[in-house]
Structure 1
Amino acid sequence: MAASQTEQPTTALADAPPQRPAATAGDVAELLEPLRREILAHCYRMTGSVHDAEDLVQETYLRAWRAYHGFENRSSLRTWVFRIATNACLTHLEGRKRRPLPTGLGAPAADPHERPLPEAGVSWLEPMPDDLLWSQGQPDPAAQAVSRDSVRLAFVAALQHLTAQQRAVLLLRDVLAWRAREVAGALDLTVAGVNSTLQRARARLADVDPEEPPRLPDDERRRALLRAYVAAFEAYDVAAIVDLLAADVVWEMPPYPEWYRGAGAVGTLISRWCPAQRAGDMRMLPTSANGEPVLALYMREDDGVHRAFQLQHVVPTSDGVARVTAFFGPELFAHFALPPELPPR
């Protein structure tokens, strides 16, 4: 009996699976690096903030390192880490309000004759620089894991009308193409709960995300429109700006809660409230965000220096520029690797 008791631990050790070597945080980060842009895009869709998304990528890496000893390859690495990222986002969003654009606040179009006033108490939706999502700064549908439509500004703004759980379910099912039982396991829901949540999320999204306006039929016409738009602003030619806008253009300017509809209304807004006074007061640099063009506007100040003023996310169509979301906040320029001021010409 004593000999048998002595042999049992030896047999148990012999039958035990080999222990996974302890992984360092650097090991896990290197393993996940090929998925980094996808994880960033997912966290951005969930939160609507480039700042929060970058922080949540780091939180995902930290959680993955802590949990790596339990990863037994029962699912793909991609599925495992997106489960971690999604739950990190849900934790982050607890008790937080959604990030809207001005058009998402429910108020009617504003009168451009009245001075717009910023609303500091709202955390606004932020643009996501293309350079953070695609290695060459341009989405290639044939080669890139993050599609342009999945980070389209109007789509991300519409997601903000969903609850955090609805966002998670819709993104996992419709963007990442997970099966319902995978989503249920990731979010601690039943399959029936996932399906009902998805149905509600899709219905709400259809109400707040209208069909994307048609794009220009070719790149050259699109580039020509943007060149003319830049030239009109730099010349401070309000009439030319109005001519380049679609008749029913929508113009919004977070952190200002007001928004405007119609080319004439936008022309009045610019004429009355833009601090520019003459040609040369404004200069623009092209960049891109959310898979669409962005024009960084620098305003000349009293000392003659052009400083960061706003980022205009523009939607060009065959009818002209159909939508402009002008993001104020010089801190956003740093995310686009844009200088805070421009040298003299």
Structure 2
Amino acid sequence: MKGNLLSGPEPDPSTDAGHTDAPPRVGFFTDTSVCIGCKACEVACKEWNALPEDGLSFSGMSYDNTQALSASTWRHVAFIEQSAPSAVPTPEGRAELPLAGAEAPGTDGGQMRWLMSSDVCKHCTHAACLDVCPTGSLFRTEYGTVVVQEDICNGCGYCVPACPYGVIEQRPADGRAFKCTMCYDRLGAGQEPACAKACPTESIQFGPLDELRERAALRVDQLQEAGVTGARLYGHDPQDGVGGDGAFFLLLDEPAVYGLPPDPQVTTRDLPAMWRHAGAAGVALAAGTVLSFTLPSVLRAAASAAASAASAASAALRGGGAR
């Protein structure tokens, strides 16, 4: 077994984590082009994992009352409304938003569209949250996923700023961190995660990660041939800054529109270089400290030797003059 890697391509993170005879890595492929915003995945996730509700208060953010992923919301369906600048006002001053036939903003005749996407933990190949956890609460499973053991988490919160996606969060009540486990308990029983099982349009697809990547590439080609030029994959590339995600997406616009970082990087990538620099700085500091104590003694000894030599030379000159 090789040592753990912090960045770069990693074809088998489960074996790298110490699992022998691990099954193929599994993951999620979320096709946002067929998401209808029903939030069945959110409900199924909460029911299966016994997650607390989020307050059920009206957020004012479209039809989205959960707003973001959190320690109590492991699946979040975003509603993104895009309005075209060219929308023609009605006499009453309101923009017409047709219920049918609307096209993407910026196209002739288009006025509005909805972008809906079910977000989740990415289960990164190089998971910074796992790298910084001091208690071993976070671990890599035999399926290649990343899971939090709530009974081991001490609430230090190191994992929260380490995540490049802002996924993992702490619960205010006790400070422990929680996130999607990809239904680790269901995987062990040969079942698919609850969110994928509940999705009525198969927007959330679960399976071996390599198969999902092939399926996603074909889907992008299909959409682009149909004229959806903005279709693209996000998080699928093993060469990206996190080594590829275990949960990746087909998007219809730029990642930032969906609240996703355009170029995520594992935050522990530079740790080896940082430790080398810290070590070099420590050696330099120690050398400076030693020198600060020894240099005065050396200078005093040198000055004393120079004074003795000068005194001897002076005495020799005086003696020579007396003869």
Q: Quickly name the TM-score band, shorter chain normalised.
A: under 0.3
Higher relative contact order (CA 8 A, sep 6+): 2
TM-score (norm 1): 0.21
Which structure has the larger Rg? 2
